[in-house]
A and B are shown apart, each in its own frame.
Chain A
Amino acid sequence: HPHQATQMSNYCLNILVFVTLQQRDPMLKRDCFEDILEERRNSSDLKYALRCYAPVLYKGVTPCKANMLKNIVLQSDQLHYVINQVSQESGEAPDIIQEEASVILEEMAHRLQISTVRCFAFALSKAFKTLFQHVCVNEEGIQRLQQAIQEHPVVLLPSHRSYMDFLLMSYILYTYDLALPVIAAGMDFMGMKFVGEMLRMSGAFFIRRSFGGDKLYWAVFSEYVKTMLRNGFAPIEFFLEGTRSRTCKSLTPKLGLLNIVIEPFFKGEVFDVNLVPVSISYERILEESLYARELLGVPKPKESTSGLLKARRILSEDYGSIHVYFGQPVSVRSLAQGKVNRSTYNLFPRHIPRKPMEETQSFVNDTAYRIVRLQEDNMVLKPWVLMASLLLQNLEGLELSVLTEQTVWLRGLALSYAAFLDWPAPTAKVVSSSLALHRGLACVSGDRVSLVVGEPLGPVTPEEALFNRAVSVLSCASYRNQVLHVFLRPAMLAVAMLHLSDEVYNCFSFLWDMFSNDFILCPGDTVQDFEEACYLLVKTGAVQMPQQDIVMTDIGQPTLSFFNGLLEPFLQGYQVVCRYLCEEASEGLTEKQYIPAVRSFAVKLILAGNLRCYEVLSSDMQKNALAALLRMDAVRKVKNRMISHINQTPISPSLSLVAVAEDLYRDGLTPSYIR
């Protein structure tokens, strides 16, 4: 196969790959952490909340009152243009539309007040000290951020795993005397009456979750964000992932806000924009079991103040530590160099809203993926993450000594793949303290460690028992998922080697494509990722590459089998979805019906003893699988109804989805590989 041949010769150039990995991989230069709670435990919180707070701003601008900001937005050419447009289309007088815009802005805008911030600083100090052992921040990152804020407008892009994220961000910036960010928050927070207003006064602004065709809303919103950015009044903060990831895997980035904050650079309105990826890692996530239930179809509780307070009471236990890593600021100007020709913006008035050009769109998309990968790279992984990965491959439980031994082994593997591990003590100690912290998920009885299955309260139906078990598995999986970004590429290669050893690249590329809704795989990086996978597996001695072949080495079996086990739930999940669509789905299946239907299909399989994979019950996986099938044109949407084409769709000359699906399903991976 000629393509494969070139691939082979390409990845034989290990040195080259190594260089690119080093460029991307900050492992060797990661900063040290400081625990900011330490000082809080030793000095007065009140003093801390009332201390002098005088952050430096962008080029020394004077802070802008929230009202002044609103006026600038309402008087902008950009907004006036859209107001007139909407007025012409709707026949309403411009004054009325202007009034509407003003209402939208009122609903949206932040009202940052230092007194509220101080209240939060006080309350959060108290709360954090009870909830967490440590809140660790890389101070070098803070210093870089401080520098960046003075030079160019800054956009903070934290990962999103918990409600805690933005409170934590503001708390840290306040602690280090940095300018407080204005934060794009989902409108659902506003439902929490008192808290919503508090958040607003601590710098949050609220956006509707969807406003598809609402031109005026979009105009007010984008102009509001751009005004803050252009004038550098405050760093802007939002979540690229759009929502909290319920699975702890990074989510496919959303591009709307990123487009808005990058556009002023392309239009020459600012010299540069600095994007600062922030990785927030929780040792234990507050929403842990909430998320699992949500994924299993128990609807998400509407955010309400009393709910949060209840949660607060429930959560008054040990949540371990938090690590917050402020990444290297990424200059949009440097990123765009040679990729986007800014002069294409010269021929159109800048105040008229315009759909971004293709070149720009793909740049923004690319940038979003890179930033999310940077977030992943700097996520601190706790020992429990590795232990959870091992436990999930041994659902029946395993000996504590074996677990410890395998954890040591896995740690070595993870380190050689540049994982950012926090290993505060010798492994045996770390294992026992992790088990203690996560006693809700794993239990030690005698010498055996196994997943905790929710305590049965009285007699339960088989379905209820199944769901209880699923909650444990999904909660545990949310920890395993944190390490996936480290192992993903070699793991896909391992799977490819197992299934199509003579067309490894093609199989890899197929998996890569199929899983690109589930994992962060930068568009167009297939070859690079393949090379990286080869490089890493060779580096750890798991495979050899004599001439144009990839073969497992004598010592490679444990690694490859671990990797196969790691991806197995995903493969099985996708297979179940394929099977459902092939065997059960009626022609007129709607999107709404899809999830419950797949779920009950899977429940049936599990109860019948034909399936042991609980993760397929996760709506996240079901959605991703469907999205992948739609993207790969195996399924088509006709007026909101799915039409399956799985049986006819050839995916590549030698592979068809159905073949792969059947193959993956029939072999079931584990039995043939792991003994």
Chain B
Amino acid sequence: MASDSNSSESQRIAQQRLRIIAGHLQKHKDDDSGTIATECKAEANKGTVPRKRQEIMKWNGWGYSDSKFLFNKKGQAEFTGKRYRLSGMVLPSLQDWFENTFGASVNHKSPATPALNASAVPPASLNEAFVEDLKATGIPFSHEAEDRVFRAHGHCLHEIFALREGKKFERVPDMVVWPNCHNDVVKIVELACKHNVCLIPYGGGTSVTSALECPPEETRCIVSLDTSQMNRILWIDEKNLVAHVEAGIIGQDLERLLNESGYCTGHEPDSMEFSSLGGWVATRASGMKKNVYGNIEDLVIHLKVVTPRGVIEKSCQGPRMSTGPDIHHFILGSEGTLGVVTEVTMKIRPIPEYQKYGSVVFPNFEAGVACLREVAKQRCAPASIRLMDNEQFQFGKSSFKTLPFHLCKGIYIFKGFDPHQLVVATLLFEGDRERVLQHEKQVYDIAATFGGLAAGEDNGQRGYILTFVIAYLRDLGMDYYVVAESFETSVPWDRVLDLCRNVKERINRECKERGVQFQPLTSCRVTQTYDAGACVYFYFAFNYRGLADPVHTYERVEHAAREEILANGGSLSHHHGVGKLRKEWMKESISSLGVGMLQSVKDYVDPDNIFGNRNLL
């Protein structure tokens, strides 16, 4: 949440000034002597991600170690820690929702292995010559089991499930290096080429495509290149409204640091607390507020990428060029197969003067989609507009009921709406106050023509609060025999409804056929609107009691769901990427000629497959 909608204008400006002053003071305090290159020293600033990530983050689940959902002794759900607005709160009706939705019980626990069993980790097979040369550069590295395991996975269900079960790892990185700046990366890549070592870039670790999984067939030493220490804003150019930033910076730090100078990027993927700028580039990420600020490909002005063949960058920062196919587009979405993104020049905007949340209820999903389509047609989408289906509405209702804020307080007033049909759209407007209010009216007027009724600011805001804690919920589910995952697609407008219905139905049917004993939860939301279509996000969870291999079952169902998506005109991915999870459909998606074009770039840039994570192709 970039700013608080309740604070008044003057308060906000005062806070901003304070932040800027604090930022200046900090700059001189932290001076990291570990860096060698002089340009790296310039603005040394330790970000929120330490080298030993496991000190503050879960090694086998989502997010911060201190923040998690649990059912307390009374059986009531609460969210621990102090970091989030939900932190420390009790959610009394979550248990009912949880038990009723999944047929689960708080008495049936499936606890995780408490700590990493070092003996389950294969010993590091190091390339001694590489290690020797690396030592000489002074770049920090580690081959401790905990560091290696932390970088051996993303957040796919099967990855987290395996960690929780304490399964033996087939292949993990043999060592981890922490470059501190672009030149460090150049040195590491040179050494990797020299000693034929496999490099896997690691940014925020939030991948959900098996992109970070080490190829089991890789026999060379695998080095995980952790970019987290390359996290400085190197300069801000206020004349052109661009900032030059090291690619290891994570979303929340980037926003916070820019805010100190009165700016923002406006790029807010749901993973922004942990995902990194370089990762966004490598996966073609999309931010919640792309309607105002654009997706990552719209934001990038200049890239610096270290590849086995040398450094790729353009020679100027012209806002658009007609110089053949845009080489940035080889990098955007390359998923770590070509090199390491080290520095990015990206667009920035002044922090918006005014932000306002909003929400609309519709009698049913069809009406909601029709409204979003019309909003897109009139090109008046707010910074963010999301349509949650009835299942998510039911969840929101239960998780917030009896809390200090009541998501649905207002909604019950809308008589005539079937509570098992109605859906909610959440809205976020940004800009100067007058324009926001004008904009808001326009959107609510359109919504009204589709039977939509305004349901208040608070309900909207709560929807967005949930965004960041929802990932923590999966860990809670896994404590009680429930597995869950999300996946996304983009689809032309006219097929949105058919795709949503068919995918849900396919999931239900596959679950039944594969022996899932309980009705699965399938839910979707339309999270982005475009001129020609929308992004649809699915959640899918089921109680796996009675299944011999729940992860396998889950994977088969997800596979079937993806086939259904493709058959219904959906894309292979809108923003998660392909990784290794969806490689099998690449030919079908972009044609074998297309795959060949990408392959020839890979062959030219990285002939020895140094960046050997084997994603994408």
Interaction A to B: yes
CB distance from A153 to the nearest CB of B (A): 13
In the docked arrangement, what's the CA distance between A345 and B588, Å? 14
Min C-beta distance of B533 to chain A, whole Å: 12
Could you say which residues of chain B place their CB within 8 Å of the CB of A271?
A: 501-502, 505-506
Instruction: Check B568–A268 contact: CB distance below 8 A.
Output: yes
Chain A residues in 8 Å Cβ range of B588:
343
Which A338-366 residues have a C-beta within 8 angstroms of B?
341-343, 345-346, 349-350
List residues of A (425-474) whose CB comes within 8 Å of B's CBs: none
Contact digits for B576-596, partner A, Cβ 8 Å, 1 yes 0 no: 000000000000100000000
Interface flags for B491-527 (1: CB within 8 Å of A; 0: not) read: 0001100110110011000000000000000000000
Contacts of A268 in B (CB 8 A): 495, 498-499, 502, 567-569
CB distance from A342 to the nearest CB of B (A): 4
Q: Does B566 contact A (CB under 8 A)?
A: yes
* B569, A346: Cβ atoms closer than 8 Å: yes
**How far is it, in angstroms, between the C-alpha of A211 and the C-alpha of B506 when the chains are bound?**
38
For residue A584, CB closer than 8 A to chain B, the reply is: no
With a CB–CB cut-off of 8 A, which chain A residues contact B501? 271
Does any Cβ of B come within 8 Å of A269's Cβ? yes
Q: Using known A-B contacts A268-B495, A350-B494, determine if residue A343 contacts B567 with beta carbons closer than 8 Å.
A: yes
Interface 0/1 of A310-352, CB less than 8 Å to B: 0000000000000000000000000000000111011001100
State whether B498 touches A343 (Cβ < 8 A): no
Q: Chain B 461-501, CB within 8 Å of chain A: the 1/0 string? A: 00000000000000000000000000000000011001101
**Residue numbers in A under 8 Å from B495 (CB-CB):** 268, 350
In the complex, A269→B505 CA distance in Å?
13
> Does the CB pair B568–A342 fall under 8 Å?
yes
Give the chain B neighbours of A342 by CB distance below 8 A: 567-568
Interface size bucket, A side?
A: 10 to 19
**Residue of chain A at shortest CB distance from B506:** A271
Name the residue on A nearest B501 (C-beta): A271
Can you list, as one digit per residue, whether each of A159-179 has a CB less than 8 Å from chain B (1) or not (0)? 000000000000000000000
Q: Tell me which residues from 40 to 96 in chain B have a Cβ below 8 Å from any Cβ of chain A.
A: none
Nearest chain B CB to A526's CB is how many angstroms away? 32
CB-contacts of B520-576 with A (<8 A) = 566-569
B220 to chain A, nearest CB (A): 38
Contacts of A267 in B (CB 8 A): 498
Q: Tell me, in angstroms, the Cα distance from A342 to B569 when the chains sit together.
A: 9
- List, in ascending order, chain B residues with CB within 8 A of A341's CB: 567
CB distance from A499 to the nearest CB of B (A): 49
Q: How far is the CA of A341 from the CA of B569 in the complex (A)?
A: 11
**A350 CA to B569 CA, complexed, in Å:** 11
Of all chain B residues, the one with the shortest Cβ separation from A340 is: B567
Closest to B495 in A: A268
Most chain B Cβ neighbours within 10 Å, of A341, A345, A346:
A346
The residues of A that contact B498 with a CB separation of less than 8 Å are 267-269
Closest Cβ–Cβ distance, residue B534 to chain A (whole Å): 15
Q: CB distance B506 to A343 under 8 Å? A: no
CB B402 to nearest CB in A, in angstroms, measures 32
Which residue in chain A gives the minimum CB-CB distance to B491? A346
Contacts of B568 in A (CB 8 A): 268, 342
Residues of B within 8 A of A343 (CB): 566-567, 569, 588
Residue among A267, A269, A271, A350 with most chain B CB within 10 A? A271
CA distance A350 to B499 in the complex (A): 14
Residue pairs across A and B with Cβ atoms less than 8 A apart, 14 shown, are A267-B498, A268-B495, A268-B498, A268-B568, A268-B569, A271-B502, A271-B505, A271-B506, A341-B567, A342-B567, A343-B566, A349-B494, A350-B494, A350-B495
Instruction: Supply 11 further A-B pairs (C-beta < 8 A) apart from A268-B502, A271-B501.
Output: A268-B495, A268-B498, A268-B499, A271-B502, A271-B505, A342-B567, A342-B568, A343-B567, A343-B588, A349-B494, A350-B494
List A residues at the B interface (Cβ < 8 Å). 267-269, 271, 341-343, 345-346, 349-350
The 6 A-B residue pairs whose C-beta atoms are closest, nearest first, are A342-B567, A268-B568, A346-B569, A268-B498, A271-B505, A271-B502
